[in-house]
Structure 1
Amino acid sequence: MKFIVYNVRDDEIPFVQKWGKDHGVEVAYTTTTLNQETVEEANGFDGISCLQTIPYSQELFESMKSMGIKYLSLRNVGVDNIDLAAAKENDVQITNVPAYSPQSIAEFAVMMALYLSRKVGYMQKQLDQNHQFHFSPYFMGRLMSEQTVGIIGTGRIGQEAIKLFKGLGSNVIAYDKYPQKTTNGQFVYVNDIEELLTQSDIISIHMPATEDNYHQFNHEVFEKMKDTALLINTARGSIVKTDDLLFALQSGEIAGAGIDTIENESADLQDSRSTKQVTDPDVIKLSMMPNVLITPHSAFHTSEAVRNMIDISLSNLVSLNNGDKPKDLVD
């Protein structure tokens, strides 16, 4: 039994090596992104572990079938970039890691909310662009306990975010198409998303990307939000229409945004060894705004999360090769 790990980052390598040693399994790794051409590197292996936001195409699964590779184990949660029908047609079974560290992403969302609420971006602008370092009345922020936080999506990550915001004294409301049976007195579900939009000072998105929520946050939605509201997106870039977000920020429809994931993320974004200069005009525009904190899809990135992503992904490959049905099998 031997596996290959694609798109590995330098910080993942020690965890890959340790897992292989602890389990007595040969594990190779490559920094290469997985596609129909690079899959040739997997020839002779019994399974592939991968983490990327670029598409897993029909052609890739056809190549895997021709090579006799039946198992693809993701190191992340989302499957919105996978041609699941093509995987099934080519007899490739897929697993994911639904809960590698919900707290890691939740903490990052709260950090973004604090950064924006306390106007840290304006302080940095004064220092970085104006080369000044002094008090300003424009730096006056708001306490978290003064604000209503709207959580969209109350799965594992959303629930962790609720605990943290509640711990800071925020009033927390939430919306989910499939609500939890109990809220434990930590938050209140609203009847519809419109109610959440109009009541929230901070909106934090924690739902998976689907066809139904593609560009759900658009000009129409931003108009309904408070002009003092902050938007936090640590979920998926496709949920927010970038052009409309830029307009909302520039026109004052909303007060700020924390963006960890953007539309059409490139393979280069996940290349930890890249030295390329940023050229995406939307990223450049957002990065220059003091009321925006933009980060390269890194909300998950803690030692606990990386360890769990490696361990669970590779253990799922063992289960598949042993003929077992992993609990993380994607149907």
Structure 2
Amino acid sequence: MEILAFGVQADERPLIERAFAGLHDIHCVHVFLTEDTAPMAAGYEAISTSVNANLSGRVLQTLAVGGTSMIAQRSTGFNNIDLDVAERLGISIARVSYYSPYSVAEFAWTLAMAVNRRIVRASARTRDFDFRLDGLMGRDLRGRTVGVLGTGKIGEAFTRIAHGFGMRLLGWDVAENPACAALGMTYVDKDELLAAADLVSLHVPLLPATHHLIGAAELRAMKDDAILVNSSRGGLIDTDALVTELRRGRFSGVGLDVYEAEAGLFFLDKSLEAIQDDTLARLVTFPHVLVTSHQAYYTEDAVGQIVAATVQNVDDYVAGRRTENFLVSPAGPAS
């Protein structure tokens, strides 16, 4: 079967092509799936998409008209997909339900440590042979309190690292993780966690119930010198409210690997263009804010697992098998 893979990064391409070799014909393009690029999929029964693909009802309709009946998304999140429309059109949707939680957890800690110890500012200075320490003072994390919102696989991996630092562990989730509790984590309500934590890290999925989980009230509830890290989904934070608090001089550091309006920006080179997003433009001007481009998952280990799962999803579709990865059941291949 011929498959068109959208939004393939240069580092991903050899991994994808090797994984599909001898099984299916895979054609990789770097452009992302949008309303404008959806016609490219005409004639492809199956396509593969990245996390920032636009899989709205209009796009799905275009894909269906072009003959696409299976979409294998190379991510865990699926808030970008209109599943009701996909089911109505008979398009099977599969995602990757699991990949290395350590990739994201370790990167979340990379962000936390970078803003805590002012690494970006220090690096910029030393490139100019400015070796002053003014403004570079951080804090020991040992003995301080970390608040983990979401204690699933990634949250657990993040918590284990926090435990290694010797931090007091607070957690919030719809259900307690026994592994986190065994490390000494105390589960509290969200307000108590935000008020007590020196470092807050988000590890929950983006759902209607978690959209703007950290809004104006939650940001005001946090300590003035707290560190906030988000390596999950941008929509968890009300970015305009965050900018308002930052302008008031609050927070010791903020590390964001995701942004709620990142589609059409992240994974692309916009360096020669005028950025029209005033909120993002303001956000990156704060010296204690570090924004990266949704790269927390981007390790050889995690991407290799994502690609392997994508191949398996296509094989399962061809065989008419339903697995936990399928959000909309496979109807079986047309040929």
How does the TM-score come out when normalised to structure 1? 0.91
Superposition pairs of residues 205-224 of structure 1, within 5 angstroms: 205-224=202-221
- Residue 70 of structure 1 is matched in structure 2 by 69
- Residue 84 of structure 1 is matched in structure 2 by 83
Q: Could you list the runs of 5+ residues in structure 1 that have no partner in the other structure?
A: none
2:31 aligned with 1:32: yes
Superposition pairs of residues 177-216 of structure 1, within 5 angstroms: 177-183=174-180, 185-216=182-213
Deviations 1:69-103, CA, capped at 9 Å, x for gaps? 22111101111111111111111111111222211
Could you tell me how far apart the structure 1 residues matched to 2:92 and 2:247 are?
Answer: 45
- Residue 332 of structure 2 is matched in structure 1 by none
Equivalent position to 1:140, from 112, 126, 137:
137
- Residue 333 of structure 2 is matched in structure 1 by none
Could you tell me how far apart the structure 2 residues matched to 1:274 and 1:307 are?
Answer: 27
* Contact residue 97 and residue 309 of structure 1 kept, 8 A: yes
In the TM superposition, residue 207 of structure 1 has moved relative to its aligned partner by 0.5
RMSD between superposed Cα atoms in Å: 2.1
Could you tell me how far apart the structure 1 residues matched to 2:41 and 2:59 are?
Answer: 12
Amino acid aligned to 1:91: G
Q: Could you list the runs of 5+ residues in structure 2 that have no partner in the other structure?
A: 329-335
In the TM superposition, residue 55 of structure 1 has moved relative to its aligned partner by 2.8
Identity %: 27
Amino acid aligned to 1:80: N
Deviations 1:276-313, CA, capped at 9 Å, x for gaps? 44613333322222211111111111111222222211
Amino acid aligned to 1:13: R
- Residue 255 of structure 1 is matched in structure 2 by 252
* Contact residue 52 and residue 267 of structure 1 kept, 8 A: no
Aligned CA distance change for structure 1 residues 35 and 152 (closer, same or farther; 3 Å):
same
Could you tell me how far apart the structure 2 residues matched to 1:18 and 1:79 are?
Answer: 25
Could you tell me how far apart the structure 1 residues matched to 2:258 and 2:274 are?
Answer: 15
Aligned CA distance change for structure 1 residues 160 and 278 (closer, same or farther; 3 Å):
farther
Could you tell me how far apart the structure 2 residues matched to 1:183 and 1:275 are?
Answer: 42
Could you tell me how far apart the structure 2 residues matched to 1:109 and 1:203 are?
Answer: 10
* Contact residue 176 and residue 187 of structure 2 kept, 8 A: no
In the TM superposition, residue 274 of structure 1 has moved relative to its aligned partner by 5.9
Aligned CA distance change for structure 1 residues 315 and 274 (closer, same or farther; 3 Å):
farther
In the TM superposition, residue 216 of structure 1 has moved relative to its aligned partner by 2.2
Could you tell me how far apart the structure 1 residues matched to 2:20 and 2:179 are?
Answer: 41
Could you tell me how far apart the structure 1 residues matched to 2:54 and 2:3 are?
Answer: 21
* Contact residue 33 and residue 53 of structure 2 kept, 8 A: no
* Contact residue 50 and residue 74 of structure 2 kept, 8 A: yes
* Contact residue 154 and residue 175 of structure 1 kept, 8 A: yes
Could you tell me how far apart the structure 2 residues matched to 1:236 and 1:194 are?
Answer: 20
Deviations 1:95-117, CA, capped at 9 Å, x for gaps? 11122221111001111111122
Could you tell me how far apart the structure 1 residues matched to 2:67 and 2:133 are?
Answer: 65
Deviations 1:122-181, CA, capped at 9 Å, x for gaps? 4346557x8732233x42221121321110011111111111111122222110013324
Equivalent position to 2:173, from 176, 198, 203:
176
Could you tell me how far apart the structure 2 residues matched to 1:165 and 1:155 are?
Answer: 15
Aligned CA distance change for structure 1 residues 12 and 181 (closer, same or farther; 3 Å):
same
In the TM superposition, residue 184 of structure 1 has moved relative to its aligned partner by 5.0
* Contact residue 170 and residue 188 of structure 2 kept, 8 A: no
Count of residue pairs brought into register by the alignment: 327
Equivalent position to 1:285, from 282, 285, 292:
282
- Residue 48 of structure 1 is matched in structure 2 by 47
Provide the secondary structure at the position in 2 that maps to 1:151.
Answer: strand
Amino acid aligned to 1:26: D
* Contact residue 156 and residue 179 of structure 2 kept, 8 A: no
Provide the secondary structure at the position in 1 that maps to 2:315.
Answer: helix
Amino acid aligned to 1:4: L
Aligned CA distance change for structure 1 residues 68 and 184 (closer, same or farther; 3 Å):
same
In the TM superposition, residue 67 of structure 1 has moved relative to its aligned partner by 3.0
2:14 aligned with 1:20: no
